[in-house]
Every structure is written in C-alpha cells, then in structure tokens.
Amino acid sequence: MDGELSASPPVRRGATPLPQALALAPLLRRIAGLALALEAADPAVAALIGRLTAAEDALRDLVPADIAPRMAAGDGGASQAGGRVYLDHSHDIGAFNPCFPEYEITVVGDHASGSVEFPLAFEGPPGIVHGGVLSLFFDAIIQHHNCELGIAGKTVSLHVDYLKPTPLLSPLGFEVRRTAAGKRSTSQARLHSASQDHGGDRVYCTATVEAVAGDLSRLPRVSPRKITP
C-alpha cells in the first residue's frame, strides 16, 4: 500500500528465554489463580512459600547486583561487564513473564489473528478481566505484529474502547489490521468470543494503536548471554 514500509526479517533484540523460564511462567500464573481461589489458609501454600523463599535466597546470588540491562559494545564503546541479560520483548512476552498474558498469534502481512484466555490472576471485577490488563494485551499483540513484519515501532498512543465485560477463563479470539504511511502505522484490533455460546462473534473491546517506526541502527545493542544455554 502507499507509504508502506518494506517488510524485512524480524529483528530480535535480546536473548531468548531459558526453557526453565518458559515452564515457570504459566505455572506461576496457575498457582496464583489457585491461591486466590482458596477459602482458607492451607498448609500446601505455607510449604510453597517456604520453598519459594529458599529459591529466592539461592537465586539472588546468581544474578548481577546491577539489574540494569547489559549493553554491548558500540560506537567505539566497551561492553558492560555487569548488568543482567536482556530478554527479547518483541515477541511472546507472556510465554516467559507471568505478569503478561500469554497468547497465540498468526501474522499474515498487515493482518494478524490469534487466541487468548485470561486466567484468574488477571481478574478485575468479579469474573471479569481487569481493564488495565486488556490495554497491556493489546499493546503486546500489536507490537508483536509490527516486529514480526520487521518494523520495530514505538507506541505513540493507545486507545481502548470497552464495549462489554471481558470474561475470565473463556477462549477468546482477536484480530489486528494494520495500515501505514511513511514511518507511522495505525493498528485496529478487537477482542471477541471464540465460540457460539454468545450468539456468535461477540466483541468485548477494541483498540487503536499508533506507532512510529524506529531507526534500528540507533537502538542500543544489548549483550548476549555470557553462558550459552
């Protein structure tokens, strides 16, 4: 289309998550949901708190004291010796970070679609997904779409219309359509039912996100892992 930026292979900036992180994130979300649904304190939770506290103590000594992301050498500068490894945040953040929703997405040019189901950890009103989580979700999938096209962009604005309460623990579908002119893009997204339970394609909320394509050559480079997994 007119003004469309030419798509190039996705640029990954940051390390890939460790397999343990991919296994831990969904487990933590499930455990959080179970703990939130308990009617009373339970010994299993007390034991889990003890084990997690011990794990926290053990892991604290394995990560750098400086938690700023470690940057690579560039423009004549030297690589940082300290700092933490930075994980690639352009794709599937929820797969390795339990604070983000997990989703499935398929990108076909300027159109993307996929599915998501929000667990109990993201509840706002009774049985309803928190509105702030929905904003986070839209920003994540739209930037995933942009980055999959090889067009890294910074979010300029995000507007969400909440049309109906979005249910927890329900299979949902989403669609994204993207248009671009010059270095700016506009993405229209909607989140809807994924079944016929509500009489078809019920739309719960929509979002409009404007982004500007960044100059990849000017983005800071991050340092890879010191130890190969």
Which superfamily, per CATH, for 19-218? Answer: Hotdog Thioesterase (3.10.129.10)
- List pLDDT tens digits, range 143-185: 999 888 887 678 899 999 999 999 999 999 999 999 988 888 8
Q: Which of 198, 179, 10, 195 is nearest to 88 (CA)?
A: 10
Report whether 94 contacts 102 (CB < 8 A): yes
> Rounded to whole angstroms, how far apart are CA atoms 210 and 214?
13
Show the CA angle centred on residue 101, arms to residues 220 and 216, nearest 5°. 20
Q: Any idea which residue has 């979300």 for tokens?
A: 29
Grouping H, G, I as helix, E, B as strand and the rest as coil, residue 112 is strand
pTM score: 0.85
Domain ranges (residues) in the chain: 19-218
Diameter over CA atoms, the chain: 62
- List pLDDT tens digits, range 177-227: 999 888 888 999 999 998 655 445 799 999 999 998 766 666 667 777 777
